[in-house]
Amino acid sequence: MTSLLEVRDLSVSFGGVKALSGVSFDVKGGEIFSIIGPNGAGKTTIFNCLSGLYRPAAGAIRLEGRDLVGLPPKDLAALGIARTFQNLGLFEHLTVMENVLLGRHHLMGTSLLGNALRLRSTVREERENRARVVDILDLFGLAREADTPIGVLPYGVRKLIEIARALAMEPKLLLLDEPVAGMNHEETHRISEAILDVRRSHGTGMVLVEHDMRMVMTISDRLMAIDFGQHVATGTPHEIQNDPRVIEAYLGRAA
Amino acid sequence: MSELIQLVTGGLSLGSMYALIALGFVVVYKSTGVLNFAQGGLVLCGAYFCYALRNALGLPFPLAVLLAVAATALVAVLIERLVMRRMIGKPVFAVIMITWGLLIILEQVPAAVWGYDLLTLGDPWGMRMAGVGGVQVLEVDLWTLGVGAAVMLAVYLFFARSRWGLAMRASALDQEAAMAQGVSPGLVFALAWAIAGVIAALAGVMLSGGVRGLSPELSLIALRAFPAIILGGMDSPVGAVVGGLAIGVAEVLTASYVAQHAPFLGQNFHLVMPYLLMTAFLLVRPYGMFGTKAVRRG
């Protein structure tokens, strides 16, 4: 099976401080691949490179063989990379429908002039995409909330909506930045199920950054541990849990 | 009573144009964070383009309006592309001064070409009156109100329903998250200026049509959109509309009542009224009727 995403020797520095040095990994289609590591290890930096917010100093990022380094975020979205944000990238004043509909912006083709003149093709496109959003919300059991403004919904539901929006982009690769941070056991379970549902129904490859080890070990196919911006180990949950280098990175060197 | 209706109609007509100019200002402010003083210059552009196309080229009035609107939108987009985009991230004061400078340039160009005389636009309204339920009102006022209402409805539908309108609202709320959805910030900026240009041009044409006539003084009239924005709230499209209408009605009523009851205040007191209201609002409610408190002026 060929790789969906290939990352080779990725390096990022901020004013002389190396945030990432020479990290490489692959993600296969339909795979749930997690990146773990202590705070400041460089997990979110990897995400920001993958979604085009940072430009790496060196290294290659390829999606289905196509080089992505240097492309702006809007082009990466169009090529099939969707992400969620650690502290939620939802638009609070907009409704659930509007938020998720935005995920489909790059899939909608009608011109600006058509939008301004409200041509029949524009109206039809809007109607079709709204219907598609309702389908996606249904998958998450949120169809009833379509017209609710994000601002009044509880945190756990917002996290689900952000995943729904990322899915609405019909991505090839989904980047989930701490999807269960700050959640209780039940909410964590609900999100985990949603993530597995997405994989089952859409076959989307996913990269997950998460601190909740129980969740990560349960749903990941493979994991990569990093520390101080450097690769520590890659393997299955079982391999990672028993890898002495990973244990050392987390617990410190045994005296 | 019929006199009051006449006055209010005239006030709403004038106010609807203040509202449009204010709306263009709010769209640019919300989308790009720029306080655009050049908005009045775009109003002038629209009116003088229309005048030139109608009188120099002899085009039919509706066609002249259409082309003037397109040309003004183009000017607005060029300003954004060539000037404002280089100013992203620069100090707020520098950005404001740049738009102020642009206003002065845009004011001087028509004055240099056509002078300061009052010109007639070549519109079909002239001084004609129309009877509505026994009350005589200027035809140009009715058309102005109609154009104002139509543009406001169009702007509302664009932002509420279309994907580009949605993308612009999202980008104003959180640019980084909007980019992750595939929204291009550059396009959003250009689009905001284009919309401001379209609205300003229509306001310019209507404000210099009929009995009003066209002169470079039009940019002073456009400046009265600022009291409207302060009244309504700088970041509120609804506020721009309400503020604009309120300023228009206040101005026209003041003109009439001062002439009748307080002539000692002089002939131009109505021109002071919008700024008196603005000052009062800045003292009492600086974020306007519909604005958010986070918006501070200073």
d(CA A221, CA A212): 16
d(CA B207, CA B185): 33
Per-residue model confidence (pLDDT) at position A9: 92
- Residue in chain A closest to B181 (alpha carbons) equals A103
Residues paired with residue A235 on neighbouring β-strands, in sequence order: A223
Whether the predicted interface score ipTM is above 0.95: no
Q: What is the pLDDT of residues A221-241, one digit of tens each?
A: 999 999 988 899 999 999 998
Interface of B with A in 176-215 (CB under 8 A): 176-184, 191
| Range in A150-164, A166-180, A209-223, B119-133 the model is least confident about | B119-133
Average pLDDT over residues B206-215: 88
Please check the confidence at residue B13 and state whether its pLDDT lies above 50: yes
Sheet holding A32-36, edge to edge: A81-83, A173-177, A205-209, A32-36, A222-227, A230-235
Q: Is B286 on the interface with A (CB under 8 A)?
A: no
Q: Do B180 and A77 touch (CB under 8 A)?
A: yes
Average pLDDT over residues A170-181: 91
Please check the confidence at residue B292 and state whether its pLDDT lies above 90: no
d(CA B145, CA A46): 55
Backbone angles phi, psi at A124, to 5 degrees: -65, -45
Give B173's pLDDT tier (boundaries 50, 70, 90). confident
Nearest to B183 among A74, A83, A90 (CB): A74
Please state, in angstroms and as integers, the Cα–Cα distance from residue A106 to each residue in A66, A81, A101, B163, following that order: 19, 11, 10, 10
Per-residue model confidence (pLDDT) at position B131: 81
Average pLDDT over residues B253-261: 88
One-letter amino acid at B192 equals A
Please count the residue pairs, one from chain A and one from chain B, whose beta carbons lie less than 8 angstroms apart.
Answer: 85
Q: Do B182 and A116 touch (CB under 8 A)?
A: no
Please check the confidence at residue B53 and state whether its pLDDT lies above 70: yes
Q: What is the pLDDT of residues A10-68, one digit of tens each?
A: 999 888 788 888 999 999 989 999 999 888 888 889 988 998 888 898 999 999 989 99
**Residues in chain B closer than 8 A to A165 (CB atoms):** 181
Give residue ranges of A with CB < 8 Å to any B CB: 51-53, 72-74, 77-78, 82-83, 85, 89-94, 98, 101-106, 108, 110, 112, 115-116, 118, 122, 125-126, 129, 165, 169
CB of B6 within 8 A of CB of B133? no
Would you call B248 exposed, middle or buried from its count of C-beta atoms within 10 A (0-12, 13-18, 19+)?
Answer: buried
Per-residue model confidence (pLDDT) at position A235: 92
Strand A173-177, strand A81-83: pairing: parallel
Which residue in B69, B151, B161, B181 has the most chain A C-beta atoms within 10 A of its own C-beta, making it the best mutation to test that interface?
B181
Average model confidence (pLDDT) across chain A: 87
Average pLDDT over residues B69-86: 95
Per-residue model confidence (pLDDT) at position B147: 94
Q: Do A116 and B162 touch (CB under 8 A)?
A: yes
Strand B135-138, strand A66-67: pairing: unpaired
Per-residue model confidence (pLDDT) at position A95: 92
Per-residue model confidence (pLDDT) at position A63: 93
Per-residue model confidence (pLDDT) at position A245: 87
- Residue in chain A closest to B173 (alpha carbons) equals A91
Please check the confidence at residue B183 and state whether its pLDDT lies above 80: yes
Of B200, B186, B196, B197, nearest to B75 by C-alpha is B197
Q: Report CA torsion sign: A242, A244, A247, A249.
A: negative
Average pLDDT over residues A89-116: 83
**Residues in chain B closer than 8 A to A122 (CB atoms):** 162
Interface of B with A in 107-146 (CB under 8 A): none
Per-residue model confidence (pLDDT) at position A255: 41
Give B190's pLDDT tier (boundaries 50, 70, 90). very high
Per-residue model confidence (pLDDT) at position B297: 44
Q: Do A115 and B177 touch (CB under 8 A)?
A: no
Please check the confidence at residue B280 and state whether its pLDDT lies above 60: yes
Q: Do A93 and B173 touch (CB under 8 A)?
A: yes
Of A205, A214, A207, nearest to A184 by C-alpha is A214
**Residues in chain A closer than 8 A to B180 (CB atoms):** 51, 73, 77, 82-83, 85, 89
Share of chain A above pLDDT 70, in %: 97
Q: Report CA torsion sign: B285, B287, B291, B292.
A: negative
SS3 (DSSP) at A25: strand
Contacts of B227 (CB under 8 A, 6+ apart): B243, B247, B274, B275, B277, B278
Q: Is the pTM value of this prediction over 0.95?
A: no
Average pLDDT over residues B32-36: 87
Please check the confidence at residue B144 and state whether its pLDDT lies above 90: yes
Average pLDDT over residues A147-168: 89
Q: Is B164 on the interface with A (CB under 8 A)?
A: yes
Average pLDDT over residues B73-99: 91
Nearest to B183 among A85, A105, A116 (CB): A105
Please state, in angstroms and as integers, the Cα–Cα distance from residue B187 to each residue in A112, A148, B165, B218, B274, following that order: 11, 28, 12, 30, 35
Please check the confidence at residue A248 and state whether its pLDDT lies above 60: yes
Nearest to B177 among A89, A98, A116 (CB): A89
Give B288's pLDDT tier (boundaries 50, 70, 90). confident
Give B138's pLDDT tier (boundaries 50, 70, 90). confident
Give A253's pLDDT tier (boundaries 50, 70, 90). low
